[in-house]
Amino acid sequence: MVQVKDVMSTGIDFCTTLDNVYEVAVKMKNDDVGIIPILDEGKLVGVITDRDIVVDGTAEKKAGSTKVTDIMTTKLVTVTPETSIEEAAELMAKHQIRRLPVVEDKRLVGMLSLGDLATENTVDHAAGEALKEISEDK
């Protein structure tokens, strides 16, 4: 059985609760990613996506100096490294998300994206189904 730890990305860049939205946006640009985890004392407490910055930041007229805690998502769906790829894909589909933080004891150890699922031959079907579910209008 293929597990999340077999295909997840590691070495994930992050911000802390002391950072502002501008710092998150710069990391997104430099790392060419659409999500930045937010840590507090090493523990995952939220995430900010590029969409959060646009919808909750710019559209709400919140400047780049806005604290990350003002726009970060705190209702997190996470998996552990031992979670099966199929279960992770089901969670992505159910919650309409394209990326899952991977945690151990609330500490970020990686990130799983639909792209990670698609690169693993044994999970192409799971990735395809998850993308189909995420992309459908509800």
Residue 118, pLDDT > 80, answer: no
pLDDT for 130: 57
49 DSSP β-pair partners: 35
Task: Give the residue-averaged pLDDT of 38-62.
Answer: 84
84 DSSP β-pair partners: 3
- Determine what percent of the chain is predicted with pLDDT higher than 70: 79
pLDDT band at residue 55 using 50, 70 and 90 as cut-offs: confident
pLDDT band at residue 135 using 50, 70 and 90 as cut-offs: low
Q: pTM for the complete prediction?
A: 0.83
**Domain covering 4-135: architecture:** Roll (3.10)
pLDDT for 121: 55
Phi, psi of 125 (to 5 degrees): -65, -45
| Helix (H), strand (E) at residue 100 | strand 99-104
Q: Between vectors from CA 89 to CA 14 and to CA 122, what angle results, nearest 5°?
A: 110
Domain boundaries, the chain: 4-135
